Amino acid sequence: MNIELESMAIEMPRVAGHPNREPFRGVLTLVDAASDKPPAGARGHRVLLTHTAAEAGLPSLLGMGLDYAPSLDRHDARRKVGVITRAEIVGRNLELGGYLFAKDFPEIVREIGKSGSGLRALAASGEKLGMSYEIADARVADVRSQVWTLTHVTFTGAAILRRNKAAYRDTWIELSKSS
């Protein structure tokens, strides 16, 4: 079995006990796999993010915001609750790490913390939490295709939401020891 890894990160200075930095990690999306359902903005088409496009887009993820809507059912790009400091492709997973603004948004830290420490643990509500990417400047190989193949993207952020609302069901997010 071959495991492929491409990685990028922003080095954040360590500040012991910082009240507004709660580390998180998770899977944002799958590469070279069609989405389970159409994401917003894809005009009803499922999408496939190519490995090449994801790899080229990794630098655009660093420093971008992580957002959420209190209902956890959509994106809210104006409600930034964290920052992405690490992005890497591990196999078919585009993994993220970073920090949630714990002092500013304790409710999202509590909600993610309810999910437990397992990769796919259940939230207290019985629903799993996942993530979804936000992009601009996307290029589609053939807009007439049933599944749009994304050959270029610029990541503009990511969102936390219930996995059943995400285009990819195999995404997840959890609190971590370090990011």
pLDDT of residue 37: 96
**Nearest Cα to 160, choosing from 127, 137, 136?**
127
Distance CA 35, CA 1 (A): 24
The DSSP code for 165 is G
The DSSP code for 146 is S
Give the range of the structural domain holding residue 128, as residue numbers without chain letter.
18-175
**Amino acid, single-letter form, for residue 29:** T
Q: Is residue 56 part of a domain?
A: yes
Look up residue 93 and give its two tokens. Answer: 């997973």
Radius of gyration of the chain (CA): 16
pLDDT of residue 7: 66
Distance CA 52, CA 54 (A): 6
The strand ranges marked E within the chain are 5-9, 22-30, 46-49, 65-68, 80-90, 93-100, 129-140, 147-162, 172-175
CATH code of 131's domain: 3.20.16
**Nearest Cα to 150, choosing from 173, 169, 133, 170?**
133
What's the Cα-to-Cα distance from 4 to each of 25, 132, 159, rounded to whole Å? Answer: 19, 22, 25
Distance CA 36, CA 21 (A): 32
Q: Is residue 3 part of a domain?
A: no
The DSSP code for 57 is H
pLDDT of residue 9: 79
pLDDT of residue 165: 94
Burial class (CB in 10 A: 0-12, 13-18, 19+), 17: exposed
**Tally of domains within the chain:** 1
Q: Is residue 1 part of a domain?
A: no
Q: Is residue 86 part of a domain?
A: yes
pLDDT of residue 124: 41
Over the chain (179 residues), the average pLDDT of each successive run of 10 is: 65 89 97 96 96 97 97 95 97 97 96 62 60 97 97 98 94 87
Q: Is residue 127 part of a domain?
A: yes
